[in-house]
């Protein structure tokens, strides 16, 4: 298994796209810290990168990579290796490269320019988001054999979590504004990994505002150790669950 | 000329005979062992010097003009039953005592030190610990409360009194006191022409400073930090707030500075750091807010639609989540020449003033004001998009809510 991971990992590195992604992330991060006079604004730029660019690149790249390596997968299947091992190695190889790209591109400037809890939190959350969207890519690509359809599903997934979901939440908030929905809203955030990630960072970035009004409710939930563990458990669930479904499908799939 | 000289000489030589002021020493090894006895035998203008020790004498009443001084902070213990020191004479000086454990009562507010309807009292350099009320000035005039350290360990609002409580007084000077753990650090009600200067009021259960119906006062260079609800100034005219620090007042209804029904006042040179809300204004009019720094607050200023003719100029707004919020469409206040770190305009003629006006009110500030739960979506990409389009074409936010001359660089304050 280790050898398959290694092969995949180096194959991705040879591909150069991940290198370019790393470079672009680094460029964005360094310039956002360099151009703005206060570190908080640089953090905001990177927050947007985490919530927007990282999911998009992770899910698209992983989906396309999976489709393109279908022959390689078939070749591996002809060997006496368990299907589970192959699929897991692919997942680990892809996740590892995306996480590494994020860490080198955005993590290092974060550690240098904004050391402390916010920076570390952002790195952890960014890595988790990378893995989650790789996992979603696995799900998208296993659902259909048609490449165009698979990539389409991946893009839809990304659009849903990055844009649509928040729009729907806003709509719901307005429709139900007469009811005490604050607590329910906490539960709703668990339905989107991007929202979970965003709120975890917000609690550190905008701590003063999060203590006012309903912010206090979120702070009471997410800010406590239990809340922190809960939201990280949810994030872990978000990368485990789609991958688990895809793994089950892959095991019994007629390739 | 000669006569005057003689007169001075005469006064100088013989005055001790006429102003006969004795020092009565109180202490375990002194002739007088009880403070109450010392007060009983003291004559007007005498000094009572209390030596170090523990005195449990119940309620001590000072009913004549004396100087009451402690040496090495003798402890006056109220045993949680009595008011410790009651001042019922004019021109008393109280200094250098450690007063602890006053009683608790909701009807008559037992205090560490209480002044009853007197004037020219000086209370300085005392330590007050674990009292219900710390220092209480009731209907006083020309009193000075200086350099006292007042500490209590209140948990609940109902079970603890105020640090320095002033009621219906005039011309007070409250300076350089340190107060913590009381309900309100400093409380002013119907107090006029007074000054609160260089006090430190931290970690009180409710307000660092609570100010009501107190016209023509000034508070200058105080530090209000980490209080349950910040500072409240209400129903007052002509109050001056200069160079104070309002820091880390965090919570649902905590404000760096809460203004309610204030008029003709000045807020100049203050620093608001890391509060949930820097300034909350309600029903205020004709206030000048100038040269203040708002930094890392949740909301820099909340200006309710009931405010009018306030002028907000030359302030720095840096790193606040929201710079300004309001609850209506009516804008009767002016914003001029402030520095906003969220300003994205340009300055072609390089005169330091941005060429396009700035809308300090963001769409999301309006959304959260109407629907607080929306805070959940803050900094989401969706919201950022909406915010950007709102900045270009205001539809929900009032379009006259603008700073026409935003500064390009922050002011050095």
Ranges of each domain in chain A:
2-251
**Whole-number Cα distances in Å, B213 to A242, B133, B192, B238, B257:** 63, 20, 9, 11, 16
Residue from B69, B71, B72 nearest B85 by CA:
B69
Look up residue A224 and give its two tokens: 């406590």
Nearest to A167 among B276, B382, B384 (CB): B382
Q: Which residues of B89-121 are buried (b: 16+ CB within 10 A; e: fewer)?
A: bbbbbbbbbbbbbbbbeeeebbbbbbbeebeeb
Whether the per-residue pLDDT at B19 is higher than 80: the answer is no
Q: How far apart are CA B41 and CA A207, in angstroms?
A: 61
* A59-110 per-position pLDDT tens digit: 999 999 999 988 988 888 888 888 899 999 999 999 999 999 999 999 999 8
Contacts of B382 in chain A (CB under 8 A): 163, 166-167, 170
Residue A10: CB atoms within 10 A of its CB come to 12
Nearest to A198 among B252, B318, B379 (CB): B379
Contacts of A214 in chain B (CB under 8 A): 372-373, 375-376
B86: left (phi over 0), alpha (psi -120 to 50) or beta: beta
Q: Name, in order, each residue with C-beta under 8 angstroms of B85's C-beta and a sequence gap of 6 or more.
A: B60, B62, B76, B94, B97, B99, B111, B112, B113, B114
- Touching check for A54 and chain B: CB below 8 Å? no
B390: pLDDT confidence band, cut at 50, 70 and 90? confident
Q: With CB atoms and an 8 Å threshold, state whether B298 touches A195.
A: no
Contacts of B387 in chain A (CB under 8 A): none
Radius of gyration of chain A from Cα atoms? Answer: 19
Q: Name, in order, each residue with C-beta under 8 angstroms of A222's C-beta and a sequence gap of 6 or more.
A: A186, A199, A200, A203, A228, A230, A231
Contacting A with CB below 8 Å, chain B residues are 250-252, 254, 274-277, 296-299, 318-322, 341, 368, 370-384
Q: Over range A162-169, report the average pLDDT.
A: 90
Q: How far apart are CA A40 and CA A49, in angstroms?
A: 14
Residue with more model confidence, A174 or A210: A174
- Touching check for A115 and chain B: CB below 8 Å? no
pLDDT of residue A216: 62
Residue from A116, A108, A128 nearest A40 by CA:
A116
Contacts of B375 in chain A (CB under 8 A): 209-210, 213-215, 218
Contacts of A218 in chain B (CB under 8 A): 375-376
- Touching check for A213 and chain B: CB below 8 Å? yes
Look up residue A209 and give its two tokens: 């505002």
**Smallest Cα distance from B50 to chain A, Å:** 48
Strands (DSSP E) contained in B12-110 are 23-26, 47-50, 54-55, 60-62, 67-70, 75-77, 85-87, 93-95, 98-100
Whole-model pTM? 0.83
Are A208 and B399 in contact by the 8 Å Cβ rule? The answer is: no
Instruction: Kindly report the backbone phi and psi dihedral angles of residue B68, in degrees, each rounded to the nearest multiple of 5, phi listed first.
Output: -115, 105
Strands (DSSP E) contained in B296-356 are 299-303, 311-313, 316-318, 322-325, 334-336, 339-340
- Domains along the sequence of chain B with CATH: 22-358 (2.160.20.10), 362-397 (no CATH)
Q: With CB atoms and an 8 Å threshold, state whether A213 touches B318.
A: no
Nearest to A206 among B298, B372, B374 (CB): B298
Give SS3 for A100: helix
A129: pLDDT confidence band, cut at 50, 70 and 90? very high
- Touching check for A162 and chain B: CB below 8 Å? yes
- Touching check for A210 and chain B: CB below 8 Å? yes
Contacts of A163 in chain B (CB under 8 A): 381-382
* B216-271 per-position pLDDT tens digit: 999 999 999 999 888 999 999 999 999 999 998 887 778 999 999 999 999 999 99
């Amino acid at each position: 298994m280790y050898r398959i991971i290694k092969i995949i990992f180096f194959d991705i590195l040879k591909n150069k796209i991940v290198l370019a992604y790393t470079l672009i992330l680094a460029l964005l991060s360094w310039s956002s810290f360099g151009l703005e006079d206060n570190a908080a604004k640089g953090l905001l730029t990177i927050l947007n990168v985490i919530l927007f660019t990282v999911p998009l690149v992770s899910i698209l790249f992983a989906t396309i990579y999976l489709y393109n390596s279908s022959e390689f997968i078939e070749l591996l299947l002809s060997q006496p290796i368990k299907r589970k091992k192959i699929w897991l190695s692919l997942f680990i190889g892809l996740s590892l490269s995306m996480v590494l790209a994020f860490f080198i591109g955005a993590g290092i400037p974060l550690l240098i320019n904004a050391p402390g809890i916010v920076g570390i939190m952002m790195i952890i959350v960014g890595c988790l988001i990378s893995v989650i969207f790789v996992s979603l890519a696995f799900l998208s690509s296993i659902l259909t054999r048609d490449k165009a359809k698979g990539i389409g599903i991946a893009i839809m997934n990304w659009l849903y979590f990055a844009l649509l979901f928040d729009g729907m939440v806003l709509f719901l908030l307005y429709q139900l504004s007469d009811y005490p929905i604050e607590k329910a809203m906490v539960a709703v955030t668990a339905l989107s990994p991007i929202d979970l990630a965003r709120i975890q960072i917000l609690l550190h970035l905008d701590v003063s505002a999060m203590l006012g009004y309903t912010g206090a409710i979120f702070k009471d939930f997410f800010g406590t150790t239990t809340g922190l563990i809960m939201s990280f458990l949810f994030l872990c669930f978000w990368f485990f669950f789609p991958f688990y479904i895809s793994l089950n499908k892959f095991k019994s799939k007629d390739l | 000329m000669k006569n005057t000289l003689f007169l001075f000489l005469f006064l100088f030589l013989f005055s001790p005979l006429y102003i006969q002021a004795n020092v009565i020493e109180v202490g375990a090894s002194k002739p007088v062992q009880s403070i109450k006895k010392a007060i009983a035998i003291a004559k007007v203008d005498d000094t009572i010097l209390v030596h170090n020790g523990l005195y449990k004498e119940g309620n001590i009443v000072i009913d004549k003009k004396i100087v009451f001084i402690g040496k090495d902070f003798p402890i006056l213990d109220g045993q949680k039953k009595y008011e410790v020191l009651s001042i019922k004479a004019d021109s008393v000086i109280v200094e250098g005592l450690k007063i602890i454990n006053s009683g608790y009562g909701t009807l008559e507010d037992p205090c560490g030190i209480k002044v009853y309807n007197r004037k020219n009292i000086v209370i300085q350099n005392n330590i007050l610990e674990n009292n219900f009320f710390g220092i209480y000035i009731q209907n006083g005039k020309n009193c000075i409360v200086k350099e006292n350290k007042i500490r209590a360990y209140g948990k609940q609002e109902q079970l603890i009194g105020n640090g320095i409580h002033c009621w219906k007084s005039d011309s007070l000077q409250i300076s350089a006191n340190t107060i913590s753990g009381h309900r309100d650090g400093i409380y002013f009600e119907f107090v006029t022409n007074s000054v609160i200067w260089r006090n430190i009021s931290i970690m009180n259960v409710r307000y660092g400073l609570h100010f009501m119906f107190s016209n023509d006062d000034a508070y200058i260079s105080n530090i209000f930090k980490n209080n349950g609800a910040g500072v409240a100034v209400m129903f007052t005219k002509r109050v001056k707030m200069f160079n104070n620090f309002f820091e880390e007042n965090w919570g649902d209804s905590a404000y760096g500075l809460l203004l309610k029904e204030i008029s003709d006042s000045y807020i100049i040179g203050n620093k608001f750091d890391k509060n949930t809300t820097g300034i909350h204004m309600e029903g205020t009019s004709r206030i000048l807010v100038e040269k203040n720094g708002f930094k890392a607050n949740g909301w820099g200023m909340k200006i309710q639609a009931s405010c009018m003719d306030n002028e907000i100029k030359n302030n720095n707004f840096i790193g606040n989540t929201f710079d300004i919020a309001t609850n209506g469409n009516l804008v009767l206040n002016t914003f001029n020449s402030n520095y906003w770190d969220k300003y994205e305009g340009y300055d072609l003629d390089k005169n330091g003033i941005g060429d396009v006006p700035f809308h300090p009110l963001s769409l999301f500030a309006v959304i959260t004001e109407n629907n607080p739960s929306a805070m959940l979506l803050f900094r989401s990409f969706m919201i950022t998009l909406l915010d950007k389009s709102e900045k270009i074409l205001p539809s929900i936010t009032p379009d006259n809510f603008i700073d026409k001359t935003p500064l390009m660089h922050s002011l050095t304050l």
